[in-house]
Chain A
Amino acid sequence: MEPFGAQYALYPNMAGNGFQASSYANDRPPSSTGSGEGDISADPASSGFFTTDYKKHDDLKTMLDSNKDSLKLEAMKRIIGMVAKGKDASDLFPPVVKNVVSKNLEVKKLVYVYLTRYAEEQQDLALLSISTFQRALKDPNQLIRASALRVLSSIRVPVITPIMMLAIKEAVMDMSPYVRKTAAHAIPKLYSLDPETKDQLIEVLDRLLADKTTLVAGSAIQAFVEICPERIDLIHKNYRKLCNLLVDVEEWGQVVILNMLTHYCRTQFISPNQDGGEEIERPFYESSGKDTEDEDDDDEDDDADGDKKKKADKPAPYVMDQDHRLLLRQSKPLLNSRNAAVVMAVAQLYHHCAPKSEVGVVAKSLIRLLRSHKEIQYVVLSNIATMTDKRKSMFEPYLKSFYVRSCDPLHVKLLKLEILTSLATETNISTILREFQTYVTSSDKDFAAATIQAIGRCASSIAEVTDTCLNGLVRLMSNRDEAVVAESVVVIKKLLQMRPSEHKGIICHMAKMVDNITVPMARASILWLIGEYSERVPKIAPDVLRRMAKNFINEEDIVKLQILNLAVKMCITNPKQTKLLCQYVMNLAKYDQNYDIRDRSRFLRQFVLTSDKPCALAKYSKKIFLATKPAPVLESLTKGHDNYQLGSLSHLLNMKTTGYQELPEWPAVAPDTTVRNVELPPVWKEEREPVRGSKKTKQRQPSTDLKKFYSSSSEDDDDEDDDEEEDDDSTEEESGDESAEDKEASDESDDEEEKKKASSDSSEDSSDDSSDESEDSSEEDSSDEDSDKEVKKPVKPAPVEEKPKKSKSKADAKASSSGGGGGADLLLDFDDLGPSLPAPAASSNPVLGVADLLTPTAAGSGQVASSSLSTSSQSNIVQGISIVPKEHELLNRLSSGGLTVTYKYTRTISIFSPKMVSLELTFTNAGDKPFSAIKVGDKKTQAGMEIHDFPEIASLGVGSSSTALMGINFNDTTQAAGFQLSSEQGSFSVSIAAPVGELMQPHTMGEAEFKTQQGKLGGMNENRETVAITEAKTSPDGLCRCVRSVANLLQVPSSQPDVYFFAAQTLATSTLVLVSVKVQGKSSKVTVNCEKMVIGTMLLKDLKRALTSSE
């Protein structure tokens, strides 16, 4: 650690002029246009900023109508200022709404903000803006699509509900997960506007729930909870996916998902705490350790089904459902979240759904939250208070964490007291009482009083300390502070009532105090006590009554009532001495100002002071007044809170809030457990099926994985990183922190497309990796094996699955034939999506049609839409071509003494820099000695090129192989990038020259835009040739496949059947590359337009070669 610290004196300075200048608050005028308004805004104290009178509105209107963006922006900023302040700015609606078409993004954004605020009030005018949003919904830019949907769904104009519905339906099919997330948010908005749409929305929601991106999951569940929490059946098939994705979902989504899953858990599983709560784990778990989860996740998943069947047959003893276990296990790591809400959500899940023995794990994390903001403390403490009621032992070790600090807010102090009292036991009571002693002297009197009550509760619950507490309380009665005294009297009263026999002394003492105590409640309590136990103090009691009678008229009402009470009781027990006194008091009370007291005296008089004929009840008066009363139960303030789900608002307020859903009781018999078996082919199915189907052949695989994982982990961190990743891949475990691995990041970032492919990819992956683990040569076999299994495997959940299965196995075959590429991520790959989801795909077409009808103005944009949404029905769009990257050899084992290195272009955006071509290198050691420390050595690159090294591979054993990702910025040239592959066994110079087709990335655009761009790139930038296309490649499918295999292009929809358009951008300079092919038999025309002439000509050459070749 020497390099650290030594020079660290620099640090404060560094922080100062770091990337965020800390001083920008004062050196920047807030108006970015710097126009005349700047001076107003520069002085925030001047109210001019927020107050605008009518004249100013005129001035704003002219600014808005001007054609200068800067003026408009300034005006909008001022208007937003009014909105923010809550001032009415609705009269500006017409001029503002006109600017919704503004090209300036900031103006547009502010107009959107304004619209969402006022559209509801000016519905007719708001309709003017709708067509703009509809057009924006089809924008190629996902951010614009998303914000258009947000505004459209936020303006709350009932007329547009059909349009909203269409927009949502389209958006859930969007390629961008961000847009889909926005769609999920729009669903409850539409529902609140028009509850009639519920059924339709549920359909849409069902689709979103099936979404596999983590970004969408949280919002989809939130929509589910808001519109149809009763439709728990929608969750079944997504349950396992949700559990597995949980760790990767953003924190807010985690909270919502955890809460929903708690409900799910309570309806679908049986209570884990039956028969004494001892759950019996299968031997499998015992061997692997109950809490070492994550590594064996996949295995458990695999076994889940088989296990469930076994369990169904034998009802007892209780075995936890594997899915139940999965939820608990996947949520546990979230206890370490930085977000208090997430931690609380896990805690409530464990509290409500986990076996007793396991709930304890959450305690530590909850204690950690106590160090957080005071509001968080308050909520957490009130939940802990409920938990301690039920599970005392859980928080006992943390007793001291609940000690009160003088700076805590009052509500926190009270809750802490509450918890301390519930935690009190015979062993710790003495420390708690000592602590209470300091609290009693607190200058905060409310708190001191609460402490006394707490002492009372301790005394009543723990018999051993009752005497100590009573003595302490009696001592407090001589306290200087009235509130303290009063409170102690009240508490003593309650305590004595519980065990009156032994405390004569205390009663005497209290009787003596009655003159000194002025707090009415306390006086009343003393009088009641004396009346109740007057036989124990026969001498004192009449005297007390005498003194009270003397001062009757000056007492508070509550005391007067107790004096009457005392008088009657005395009169019954000791009529000789007190009858007259009693009469005197009654007479005083008869003329009291308070009618309660008058009533009471009249009522009581009938019992004791009847002269002529005693009323019927009088002879029972002793029974009535001196019956033994049940002792009060001193209970905590938080009693009753436990009726509500922990962590909920209802729990905190102890009242049922709007929209609160009761937590259901556990079902007696577990509902059908097979419902969670997934019917659609999601990713993780693949991982399960082969294993389950062919345990014999495959079973050993994971264990070797594990072994390898551990053995290499001891060698080097870095290497282990890779291994872990492979481990993840091979099991396609979607969760786990490892997904943050930068290597995967690129895959993940355009996962949206990838995930739609679902099956093909994953089986590719798994076959790929399994082959990596074993032998290079076995690659073909193992993946073949996979696909074989797929086909042979009897399809379980019936016909729906038939189709996807086939296409999947087809994809597998494809994959394996070329050696199984892991990252064949093509932007448009709907092969599997189409057949597997027939219903939504079919419905999307009419949607589009109607949308166009509704928007006559946006006629031109319809086609943009079809390109961007790519669900269009255009005839010549060929979807679902999975181009499998070719492997190229980088280093031959003959020249390197055993090390074979191959590379392929993943065609994904490089994680290192968007300008780089992403390459996946596969290292295989085919030699007879291990290689170690394989890394990039010296580089020989042209100017402008950059090579991003792959992470060093620490060692590569004989026969093993490893993959790594690297990035090269070729700077849009086809020059080779040379570098040295160095290892301890020698270094080898290699070079990679990318074919021109790999230097680009797909670019989305519509036909209209394509044509405009093509028009701009005429002349020198256009390369055109007539080509005789091979017969086999004239079909749309064949042609697209051919073109796409040559270059990383994206097809653009075209209105003519025989003309195909493709578009891309070069990586380094983002230059457009446009390709159009017109198929006309032998004289087909291929045109390439690109500003970079070299790229244009070379691409044309490559395309020509590919199209004419007969391969």
Chain B
Amino acid sequence: MIHSLFIINSTGDVFLEKHWKSVVNKSICDYFFEAQSRQTNPEDVPPVIATPHHYLINIYRSSLYFVAVVTTEVPPLFVIEFLHRICDTFEDYFSDCNETILKEHFVIVYELLDEMLDNGFPLAVESNVLKELIKPPNFLRTITDTVTGKSTGVSATLPTGQLSNIPWRRTGVKYTNNEAYFDVIEEIDAIIDKSGTTVIAEIQGYIDCLIKLSGMPDLTLSFVNPRLLDDVSFHPCVRFKRWEAEKILSFVPPDGHFRMMSYHIGTNNMVAIPVYLRHNISFREGGGGRFEVTIGPKQTMGKPVENVVLEVPFPKSVLNVTLTCSQGKNSFDPVSKLMTWDVGKIDPSKLPNIKGNITLQTGVPIPESNPTITVMFTIQQMAVSGLKVNRLDMYGEKYKPFKGVKYITRAGKFQVRT
């Protein structure tokens, strides 16, 4: 399946290669570089590139390209999904996944890659299993290892999870404080048109958990209004049958952080759009233009809208903008022509506003269309869909865990056409 993996940084340097079958020379990456050079935007590189004898499947993540080489027919999603899983694992181990960190921990990286695939086919991918096989870097352990002269980086025994029917959980977990936290995160994907009407709005929700419970807890989580959810996908630990029958999430959780569920609330439901934009953008013949945007809250159920950021990708013909904002800071990158306005929190009594002039390059026709503004925001303690957790019960263990649930609504791909 996956023959080799090359990790390439933004400057086009192959800084890590791993081969699971015979060695493929890294000159194969030239095909990739060629495809890359044809695109101006790194995101636009086609994910699958065919070369005479190999196929290159790549993903672009945290400004690194992960290029997998395959030689035979394989479901492309299989490879793509796996590459993302590799990144996830790195992020899980090193809390981030960039060139510096990967280079710093290259031995662990290499051991991980070796353990995750055998002959190009996934072997141990579950984070809990991997963490037992190869310990994540940890300062304290490094010290003890140095003192005792032993190395405890790799495990001598097969993690129990690998053989059990619940590979995501390891046995013998013990905590003094037993806690279970659930974050209900909802992202609004929306396109708002010029006149302020909603073209499309959908909600993409996640339930992320942090479970620190001893033993083998068996949890059930129920919602007040589960019928809201259009389409769901689960972590393998969730018993699908019970969800189908009773709309209850019943699961033996993995230890630590994990995404238990993601759901989708489609276009047929009405989605309350929490912010509105008043904008007035115009270009004049003769190399100038006006720009004015005001942002205000609506339908937020009284919760404040925070972390508001506006991004305006100006057309290439714009030379510069001189803007003043009533609140927050704004910056303009003359290379990418991206104007970012970091608004902060919206005060409903004094709506944040930004205005100023646009300077166009001389001799260039004025832009045809106004830029599409991307809006980011966060609203704490509110799930915009109205989803509500009803209760959490634990079976199988006798202690009383501390439970918490948090709701966050934020902007996903929230775009306003102007």
Could you say which residues of chain A place their CB within 8 Å of the CB of B398?
948-949
Chain A residues with a Cβ closer than 8 Å to the other chain, count? 161
List the 6 closest A-B pairs by CB distance, nearest first.
A659-B72, A441-B369, A737-B239, A748-B165, A34-B146, A749-B164
Kindly specify which of A738-746, A829-837, A1089-1097 makes contact with the partner chain. A738-746
Tell me the A650-691 residues at the B interface (CB within 8 Å): 650, 652-653, 655, 657-661
Q: Does A995 count as interface, using CB distance less than 8 angstroms?
A: no
> Of all chain A residues, which has the CB nearest B77?
A341
Q: In the complex, which of the residues A27, A33, A107, A721 contacts B395, with contact meaning CB atoms closer than 8 Å?
A: A721
CB distance from A565 to the nearest CB of B (A): 32
Which of B70, B157, B369 counts the most A-chain CB atoms under 10 A from its CB? B369
Contact B142 A948 (CB under 8 A): no
Kindly specify which of A246-254, A567-575, A1071-1079 makes contact with the partner chain. A246-254
Contact A407 B44 (CB under 8 A): no
Q: In the complex, which of the residues A24, A112, A380 contacts B77, with contact meaning CB atoms closer than 8 Å?
A: A380
Contact B75 A185 (CB under 8 A): no
Q: In the complex, which of the residues B122, B126, B239 contacts A738, with contact meaning CB atoms closer than 8 Å?
A: B239
Q: In the complex, which of the residues B75, B82, B163, B231 contacts A345, with contact meaning CB atoms closer than 8 Å?
A: B75
Q: In the complex, which of the residues A340, A441, A717 contacts B393, with contact meaning CB atoms closer than 8 Å?
A: A717
Could you say which residues of chain B place their CB within 8 Å of the CB of A20?
95, 136, 256-257
Could you say which residues of chain A place their CB within 8 Å of the CB of B412?
371
Contact B110 A84 (CB under 8 A): yes
Kindly specify which of A69-77, A785-793, A885-893 makes contact with the partner chain. A69-77
Contact A106 B78 (CB under 8 A): no
Determine the distance from Cα of A717 to Cα of B395 in the docked complex, in whole angstroms. Answer: 10
Q: Does B259 count as interface, using CB distance less than 8 angstroms?
A: yes
Q: Does B336 count as interface, using CB distance less than 8 angstroms?
A: no
Contact B151 A4 (CB under 8 A): no
Q: Does B228 count as interface, using CB distance less than 8 angstroms?
A: no
CB distance from A173 to the nearest CB of B (A): 17
Determine the distance from Cα of A250 to Cα of B58 in the docked complex, in whole angstroms. Answer: 23
Could you say which residues of chain B place their CB within 8 Å of the CB of A29?
142
* 7 contacts across the A-B interface (CB closer than 8 A): A73-B151, A337-B236, A438-B417, A443-B369, A481-B368, A737-B242, A745-B216
Q: Does A378 count as interface, using CB distance less than 8 angstroms?
A: yes
Contact A32 B16 (CB under 8 A): no
> Of all chain B residues, which has the CB nearest A646?
B75
Determine the distance from Cα of A3 to Cα of B151 in the docked complex, in whole angstroms. Answer: 44
Q: Mark A1-36, 1 if CB is under 8 A from B, else 0.
A: 101110110110011001111111101111011100
Q: Does A640 count as interface, using CB distance less than 8 angstroms?
A: no
Q: In the complex, which of the residues A4, A176, A397 contacts B403, with contact meaning CB atoms closer than 8 Å?
A: A4
Could you say which residues of chain A place their CB within 8 Å of the CB of B123?
181-182, 185
Contact A215 B367 (CB under 8 A): no
Q: Say whether chain B's binding surface is mostly helix, strand, loop, or mixed.
A: mixed
Could you say which residues of chain A place their CB within 8 Å of the CB of B136?
20, 24
Q: Mark A141-152, 1 if CB is under 8 A from B, else 0.
A: 111101000100
Could you say which residues of chain A place their CB within 8 Å of the CB of B274?
none
> Of all chain A residues, which has the CB nearest B50?
A653
Contact A86 B14 (CB under 8 A): yes
Q: Does B80 count as interface, using CB distance less than 8 angstroms?
A: yes
Q: Does A219 count as interface, using CB distance less than 8 angstroms?
A: yes
Q: In the complex, which of the residues A4, A80, A178 contacts B404, with contact meaning CB atoms closer than 8 Å?
A: A4
Contact A913 B105 (CB under 8 A): no
Q: Mark A46-88, 1 if CB is under 8 A from B, else 0.
A: 0001100000000000000000011001000100110111100
Could you say which residues of chain A place their CB within 8 Å of the CB of B138?
21, 24, 28
Kindly specify which of A298-306, A360-368, A532-540, A862-870 makes contact with the partner chain. A360-368
Contact B417 A649 (CB under 8 A): no
Could you say which residues of chain B place their CB within 8 Å of the CB of A401?
200, 202, 266-267
Contact B55 A649 (CB under 8 A): yes
Contact B264 A176 (CB under 8 A): no
Determine the distance from Cα of A407 to Cα of B238 in the docked complex, in whole angstroms. Answer: 33
Determine the distance from Cα of A392 to Cα of B392 in the docked complex, in whole angstroms. Answer: 42
Determine the distance from Cα of A49 to Cα of B103 in the docked complex, in whole angstroms. Answer: 9
Q: Does B191 count as interface, using CB distance less than 8 angstroms?
A: yes
Contact A374 B77 (CB under 8 A): no
Known pairs A18-B210, A338-B235, A951-B396 / 13 extra A-B pairs, C-beta < 8 Å: A24-B95, A25-B95, A25-B101, A70-B151, A177-B163, A248-B165, A378-B47, A649-B73, A653-B55, A748-B164, A749-B160, A750-B163, A751-B165
Q: In the complex, which of the residues A1, A337, A407, A752 contacts B163, with contact meaning CB atoms closer than 8 Å?
A: A752
Could you say which residues of chain B place their CB within 8 Å of the CB of A853?
none
Contact A337 B233 (CB under 8 A): yes
Could you say which residues of chain B place their CB within 8 Å of the CB of A438?
193, 369, 417
Could you say which residues of chain B place their CB within 8 Å of the CB of A647?
75-77
CB distance from B41 to the nearest CB of A (A): 7
Contact A109 B111 (CB under 8 A): yes
Kindly specify which of B166-174, B290-298, B301-309, B352-360 makes contact with the partner chain. B166-174
**Given the contacts A20-B136, A80-B107, A443 and B74 also touching, CB distance less than 8 Å:** no
Tell me the A704-748 residues at the B interface (CB within 8 Å): 713, 717-718, 721, 724, 736-742, 744-745, 748
Contact A120 B215 (CB under 8 A): no
Determine the distance from Cα of A341 to Cα of B151 in the docked complex, in whole angstroms. Answer: 38
Q: Does A41 count as interface, using CB distance less than 8 angstroms?
A: yes
Contact A28 B241 (CB under 8 A): no
> Of all chain A residues, which has the CB nearest B251?
A740
Contact A913 B75 (CB under 8 A): no
> Of all chain A residues, which has the CB nearest B235?
A338
Contact A652 B48 (CB under 8 A): yes
Could you say which residues of chain A place their CB within 8 Å of the CB of B165?
214, 248, 739-740, 744-745, 748-749, 751
Q: In the complex, which of the residues A44, A336, A480 contacts B234, with contact meaning CB atoms closer than 8 Å?
A: A336
CB distance from A615 to the nearest CB of B (A): 47
Contact A406 B415 (CB under 8 A): yes
Q: Does A110 count as interface, using CB distance less than 8 angstroms?
A: yes
CB distance from B324 to the nearest CB of A (A): 25
Contact B103 A44 (CB under 8 A): yes
**Given the contacts A11-B404, A86-B14, A401-B267, A44 and B104 also touching, CB distance less than 8 Å:** yes
Q: Does A189 count as interface, using CB distance less than 8 angstroms?
A: yes
Q: Does B247 count as interface, using CB distance less than 8 angstroms?
A: no
> Of all chain B residues, which has the CB nearest A29?
B142
Q: Does B315 count as interface, using CB distance less than 8 angstroms?
A: yes
Tell me the A175-197 residues at the B interface (CB within 8 Å): 176-178, 181-182, 185-186, 188-189, 192
Which of B17, B171, B402 counts the most A-chain CB atoms under 10 A from its CB? B171
CB distance from B35 to the nearest CB of A (A): 11
Contact B389 A376 (CB under 8 A): no
**Given the contacts A20-B136, A29-B142, A120-B22, A660 and B81 also touching, CB distance less than 8 Å:** no
Q: Mark B124-153, 1 if CB is under 8 A from A, else 0.
A: 011000000000111101100110010101
Q: Does A479 count as interface, using CB distance less than 8 angstroms?
A: yes
Q: Does B11 count as interface, using CB distance less than 8 angstroms?
A: no
Q: Mark B72-113, 1 if CB is under 8 A from A, else 0.
A: 111111101110100000000011100011011111011100
Determine the distance from Cα of A481 to Cα of B369 in the docked complex, in whole angstroms. Answer: 11
Q: Does A379 count as interface, using CB distance less than 8 angstroms?
A: yes
Q: Does B154 count as interface, using CB distance less than 8 angstroms?
A: yes
Contact B163 A294 (CB under 8 A): no
Q: Does A339 count as interface, using CB distance less than 8 angstroms?
A: yes
Could you say which residues of chain A place their CB within 8 Å of the CB of B286?
none
Q: Mark B28-65, 1 if CB is under 8 A from A, else 0.
A: 00000000000101011011101000010011110000
**Given the contacts A371-B204, A406-B415, A8 and B215 also touching, CB distance less than 8 Å:** no
Contact B121 A443 (CB under 8 A): no
> Of all chain A residues, which has the CB nearest B239?
A737
Could you say which residues of chain B place their CB within 8 Å of the CB of A912?
215-216, 396
Could you say which residues of chain A place their CB within 8 Å of the CB of B204?
371
Determine the distance from Cα of A558 to Cα of B165 in the docked complex, in whole angstroms. Answer: 67
> Of all chain A residues, which has the CB nearest B94?
A25
> Of all chain A residues, which has the CB nearest B100?
A44
Determine the distance from Cα of A742 to Cα of B396 in the docked complex, in whole angstroms. Answer: 8
Could you say which residues of chain B place their CB within 8 Å of the CB of A752?
163
Contact A84 B242 (CB under 8 A): no
Contact A143 B142 (CB under 8 A): no
CB distance from B241 to the nearest CB of A (A): 5
